[in-house]
Amino acid sequence: MTYLRQLRRSSLRPALGALSLAVLAALAAPQPTHAAAEAPAETVCIQCHGSLPDRLGAPVKLWRTSIHSENGISCNACHGGDPKDAADAMNRSRGFLGAPKEPDIPAFCGRCHPGVLKDYLASAHGRALGKGGPTCVTCHGNHAVLKASLDLINEKSCTRCHSFERARIIKEAMQQTEGHIVGIDRKIKDYQAQGVDTERLGKSLFAVRNRFHTLFHEVNVTKVKAESNDINTELGKLDRDLKVVDEARAKRKVAGACAVAGALVLALLFHLMKKSYD
Amino acid sequence: MALIKRLYDWIDLRIGAREIVKKELTGYLLPRNINEWYSLGSVLLVIFALQVVTGMLLMVYYVPDAEKAFKSVTYIMNELPYGWLIRLCHAVGSNMMVAVLIMHMLSTLFMKSYKSPRELNWVTGFILFTLVQGISLTGYLLPWSQLSFWATTVATNSAAAIPVAGPYLVEFMRGSKLVGPPTLGRFFAMHVAVIPAVIAGLIGAHLFLLKRTGISTPPFGTKEPAATWSPESYRYESHPGGIPFFPNYALQDLTSISVYFAIFLAVVFFAPNLLFTPDAFVPANAFQTPAHIKPEWYFLANYQTLKIFPSELLGLSVQAAAMTFLALLPFIDRSPERNPMKRPVFLVCFVGGFLLWIGLSIWGHYS
């Protein structure tokens, strides 16, 4: 009993130290709390309209599926207003623009996409603006804005206004390039997710993709074919850059295999040596 | 060879090297039934040394500034010759260190090596375990990626659950209301200076205690006469007739270290992304919360435990109680029996506790 008492007394200090550390360790563990609460709040537009029914709430649901939402572009980026003040969110003195009238739509979107606006206005579609021709939202949608891709050129959409014949020829001419761009984009994203610095490659692809997208509003088949060839040459350079990364990573794997094999051989060797001493 | 012998003689004449070698290596006898699990301590020493070396090399190019940290890590990974290897060794090594440390603790628990007179060995080891978790947590923020930024936001926020002092503690840890540049400065200092120094000191204390108490005899295998310890006087647990540390057990240590390196290098070269999510390669953005931020694998059980309980404080208290129980186990479990097969209640608690930890971790991963 005396021993137990002595032991209890002597063990009190390390016990208290361990207790404090244990509490600290438990506190240091990441907890699933408040991450969302600390994130910047959604704009008041989303907060208010998101809970409204029917016509007033529908844009929010559509927007959530859009490329704008994906890129963090909220309502105020297009419609103006104060996204932090519910009372003045739709106050014109705070820059609120509301919804544009149909002929104003290209200029409305063109504030952020000036290059595309220029291409559009120069195209047959743009020249028909105000005369029954399509605006940006006719093909790209308004709140559920779709990412520019060849999928937007489809029979269902184009035949709302004209035959699909010429559109199909243009789409076919661009298909291969689109596939090439998508493939390179996927590869760059894969590498980025593995820690490869893809900034330069990403920027180059962005420039090539933009150049390619200028053709989306072009209806001159010969020009589309010639431009597509040039763009494919540019994409070939990116392919070569990616191949360099591929080769470097393959070399690393060979070196890794040698290192792992070396370690295993050493392990076996040490084990056998130990056995000889047993 | 003659030159080496002459050099050895020269050194021996001055510091008595032969005596040290005899006492600490060839004459240092270990139990005959010592097993492979005892070599995990040596593996951990090698891992710690590797972490220190790779950490020092990373410090040459890493910039602990919120504006430059991510770019400096990107530079190390992509531009610096073999920078990727150094960084991956450091990042993978930190995870492996926790994994091997857990295995070391589990084997100590299973073989009851924590029992009297080795309470202090267990306590110093337990403190080392918490410090290794701490050094991993502070290192996590340094790349200043989306993953590190938000994981640190969530981790530091947990202290807010403490009544009254919580919010002040959070601000103290972060150096500001939210995670930001001051947090990076604090975590960097803790990661590269404070915690490593304390860990090094505690490793020294742990080894000192090991040397003073002697190696424990495993509770199974070839039986040595049962070690008896009288609490009235200090006694070193010697193993007359045992195997020498050198070369016998040193070769076991080298075998375990080589096996460790094979696994470690396999992860570094073939599956480094096992430990990184894509958010780890996106620069920190305080205005964009990633969809699913999960803590590192060894904190997943803690994470899930908190989600189970309705109140944060209750969840924290349960975890603190569990950790305290584990820390004080040598003072609670006083039975002299060390063979787990003869202690069914202990065996059930050990296996059940381990399975619960794994279950909670898997649940936390998929929740």
Domain boundaries, chain B: 37-219+243-295
A20 pLDDT more than 60: no
Interface contact flag, B123 A17, Cβ < 8 Å: yes
Class (C level, CATH) for B37-219+243-295: mainly alpha
* Ordered DSSP codes for chain A: -HHHHHHHHHHHHHHHHHHHHHHHHHHHS----SHHHHSPPPPHHHHHHTTS-HHHHHHHHHHHTSHHHHTT--HHHHH-S-TT-TTTTT-GGGT---PPPGGGHHHHHHTT-HHHHHHHHHSHHHHTTTTT---HHHHH-SSSPPPP-GGGS-HHHHTTTS-SHHHHHHHHHHHHHHHHHHHHHHHHHHHHTTT---HHHHHHHHHHHHHHHGGGG---HHHHHHHHHHHHHHHHHHHHHHHHHHHHHHHHHHHHHHHHHHHHHHHHHHHHHHHHH-
Interface contact flag, B153 A35, Cβ < 8 Å: yes
Which residue from B78, B265, B278 is facing A260, i.e. has the nearest CB? B265
From the list A87, A63, A200, A198, the residue with the least C-alpha distance to A143 is A63
- Measured CA to CA, the distance from residue A151 to residue B331 in angstroms comes to 70
pLDDT tens digit sequence for B86-124: 999 999 999 999 999 999 999 999 999 999 899 999 999
A3 pLDDT more than 50: no
A37 pLDDT more than 50: no
Count contacts between A and B (CB, < 8 Å). Answer: 199
Report chain A residues whose CB lies below 8 A from the CB of B255.
Answer: 267, 270-271, 274
Report chain A residues whose CB lies below 8 A from the CB of B314.
Answer: none
Which residue from B119, B281, B287 is facing A11, i.e. has the nearest CB? B119
Among the ranges given (A198-202, B94-98, B249-253, B293-297), the one the predictor scored with the smallest mean pLDDT: B293-297
CB A47 within 8 A of CB A129: no
A126: in domain? no
Name B244's bridge partners. Answer: B29
Interface contact flag, B302 A29, Cβ < 8 Å: yes
CB B328 within 8 A of CB A19: yes
- Is the preceding omega at residue B117 within 30 degrees of 0, hence cis? yes
Among the ranges given (A28-32, B16-20, B38-42, B146-150), the one the predictor scored with the smallest mean pLDDT: A28-32
Q: Which of B296, B306, B333 to mutate to test the interface with A (most CBs of A within 10 A)?
A: B306
Interface contact flag, A22 B287, Cβ < 8 Å: no
How high is the mean pLDDT of chain B? 93
Interface contact flag, B270 A256, Cβ < 8 Å: yes
Q: What does the pLDDT read at residue B224?
A: 61
- Measured CA to CA, the distance from residue B87 to residue B68 in angstroms comes to 17
Which residue from A30, A72, A270 is facing B288, i.e. has the nearest CB? A72
CB A35 within 8 A of CB B293: yes
Interface contact flag, A29 B299, Cβ < 8 Å: yes
A233: in domain? yes
Q: What is the domain range of residue A208?
A: 167-249
A136: in domain? no
Q: Look up residue A176 and give its two tokens.
A: 């291969």
Query: What percent of chain A lies above the pLDDT cut of 90?
Result: 44
Q: What is the mean pLDDT of residues B36-52?
A: 98
A29: in domain? no
Shortest alpha-carbon distance between residue B196 and chain A (Å): 16
Residue A247 confidence class, pLDDT cut points 50, 70, 90 = very high
Report chain A residues whose CB lies below 8 A from the CB of B191.
Answer: none
Q: What is the mean pLDDT of residues B330-343?
A: 88
Nearest CA in chain B to A6: B231
Report chain B residues whose CB lies below 8 A from the CB of A27.
Answer: 158-159, 162, 316, 320
- Measured CA to CA, the distance from residue A149 to residue A211 in angstroms comes to 13
Q: Which of A132-141, B245-254, B337-346 is modeled with the greatest confidence?
A: B245-254
Q: Look up residue B59 and give its two tokens.
A: 């410090």
B160 pLDDT more than 90: no
Q: Which of A1, A31, A199 to mutate to test the interface with B (most CBs of B within 10 A)?
A: A31
What type of residue is B278?
A: P
A1: in domain? no
Which residue from A15, A31, A38 is facing B328, i.e. has the nearest CB? A15
What Å distances lie between residue B249 and A143, A268, B21, CA to CA?
71, 15, 14
Which residue from B158, B261, B289 is facing A31, i.e. has the nearest CB? B158
Residue A9 confidence class, pLDDT cut points 50, 70, 90 = very low
pTM of the predicted protein model: 0.79
Nearest CA in chain A to B265: A260
CB A147 within 8 A of CB A210: no
A71: in domain? no
A175: in domain? yes
For B145, the 3-state DSSP assignment is strand
Residue B56 confidence class, pLDDT cut points 50, 70, 90 = very high
pLDDT tens digit sequence for A225-245: 888 889 999 999 999 999 999
- Measured CA to CA, the distance from residue A161 to residue A174 in angstroms comes to 21
